[in-house]
Amino acid sequence: MRVKRYVVDTMPDAMHSIRSDLGSDAVILSTKEIKIGGFLGFFKKKKIEVVAAVEKEQKRTVPEKTTPSLNVPRSAVPQAYMKASGASQATSVKQKTENRTYAELAAALSDAVGVLQDSTELEKDSIDINMDPIVLKKEMDTSTSALYESMGVRQTTAVSSAQDNEVLVEIREMKQWMERFARQTTASKDMPDPLNDLRERLIEQELDIDLIELWVNTTFDQWTNEGRNWTSSEFQESLKEQVTQFLSKRIGKGIARDTRILYIAGPTGVGKTTTIAKLAAEQLFRQGRKVGLITSDTYRISAVEQLRTYAAILNVPLEVVQSPGDMQRALSRLESCDLILMDTAGRNYRNEMLVAELQSLLSKELKSETYLVLSLTSKSRDMKIITEHFNKYQLDKVIFTKLDETESFGPLFNLLKDFPLGLSYLSNGQNVPDDLLMASEEKLYGMLLGTGGK
């Protein structure tokens, strides 16, 4: 028996080395994480130690340089690397998989990654670089699912053995590589400098990759169809058209004239109470409506007093509620008001029970709207999770605060893409009532491309 120890960065590196040195009959005896290098015990790097063995070393010959072959049904292989998969196999993949060793399974995965990497060097007609990235990703996801099935691994079944778990990890890594490949489709084009600069700007703005690819691809196609002789301003105009079209059905305008009660919801610390005061002043002075205020935020010590101060300055009535019964009495006392603005308590959106308390205070008897308040300083992923939690209570529109505290506006577009909310207002400071802006396509485009708009 031949035993060999490997110290590698990742398991795919180990698989490749084991297969090259010991052959496809090799088995892994152990794996563990180690730390090496460093100075005086500091700055050590994490590595993986893998011990593999083969009972009888195979006689190896130097093969001709060919493209690796992957035992995956040809019908499940995307066009991007179908040419590299070699001749079709005469024997059923499923029958072979049943008798495979772990090393053979790992070797198949190593081949798969190699084929995918080699595919980027195929001639252009092998890959349709104009394909919608979302469609390309779906095709790749389909092929990955086929790879799961061909290896005898069910995606929805928990795997008990450590070796099978490692196989699943390798498959996930390969899927992540395919996703990165899909994201690089526009980057591989012969893109003109002005359009590439716009693309880089969108990436810096933390815009989701599928939106970037859609807008840049559309602009690229228009430039190609019109003779490829555009000026920089024409690229900007084309991109502006894409952004404006995206926003056309996502601008919520202001509070509807027939709305009687407006609920303001959101997580802690996003500025809901100050936003309530700005909305009250805007409706009172600019729209000429009689306004009343309700607050259920009795959890923060200063929340009620803060809103009471605003109510006194604006000379509008304020009611404090703690239960559904209080809510009905408050609505009765404010019956003469044209519009009632309700400040709900800031909640930890991860706590379902706390968020669910809001539902008990929402009255659907009157014509109402529910606004979600989010801070633009939040991460895009957190915004989406917050919205997912609060969206259970029929959100209508969204207000973004702290516009003056960030330079990244992509997360705003990402949220509007994933949720059917209308963007009504933007808050860009603490001054009441001045720092409240009505959202518009022109303003949002200027924020995204850095051409003004704050």
CA proximity to 339, closest of 452, 397, 267, 262: 262
pLDDT, one tens digit per residue, over 67-76 is 444 444 444 4
pLDDT, one tens digit per residue, over 297-317 is 766 666 788 888 989 999 999
Sequence-distant (6+) residues with CB within 8 A of 277 are 307, 310, 314, 432, 433
Rg (CA), the chain: 29
CA 85, 88, 89: angle at the middle one, nearest 5?
Answer: 110
Q: What one-letter code names the amino acid at 422?
A: G
Q: Is the peptide bond before 433 cis (omega within 30 degrees of 0)?
A: yes
Which of 110-119, 160-169, 205-214 has the least mean pLDDT? 110-119
End-to-end Cα separation, the chain, in angstroms: 71
* pLDDT computed for residue 75 by the predictor: 43
pLDDT, one tens digit per residue, over 88-142 is 443 443 444 444 444 444 444 444 444 444 443 333 334 444 455 444 445 555 5
Could you tell me if 280 and 297 are in contact, meaning their C-beta atoms sit under 8 angstroms apart?
no
CA–centroid distance for 47 within its chain: 30
Is pLDDT larger for residue 219 or for residue 353? 219
Measured CA to CA, the distance from residue 72 to residue 108 in angstroms comes to: 9
* pLDDT computed for residue 356 by the predictor: 57
* pLDDT computed for residue 392 by the predictor: 75
**CATH annotation of 261-449:** 3.40.50.300
CA 436, 429, 372: angle at the middle one, nearest 5?
Answer: 60
Measured CA to CA, the distance from residue 30 to residue 51 in angstroms comes to: 5
pLDDT, one tens digit per residue, over 354-363 is 555 555 566 5
* pLDDT computed for residue 49 by the predictor: 87
Judged by DSSP in three states, 371 sits in strand
**This model's pTM is above 0.85:** no
* pLDDT computed for residue 172 by the predictor: 65
Measured CA to CA, the distance from residue 404 to residue 382 in angstroms comes to: 19
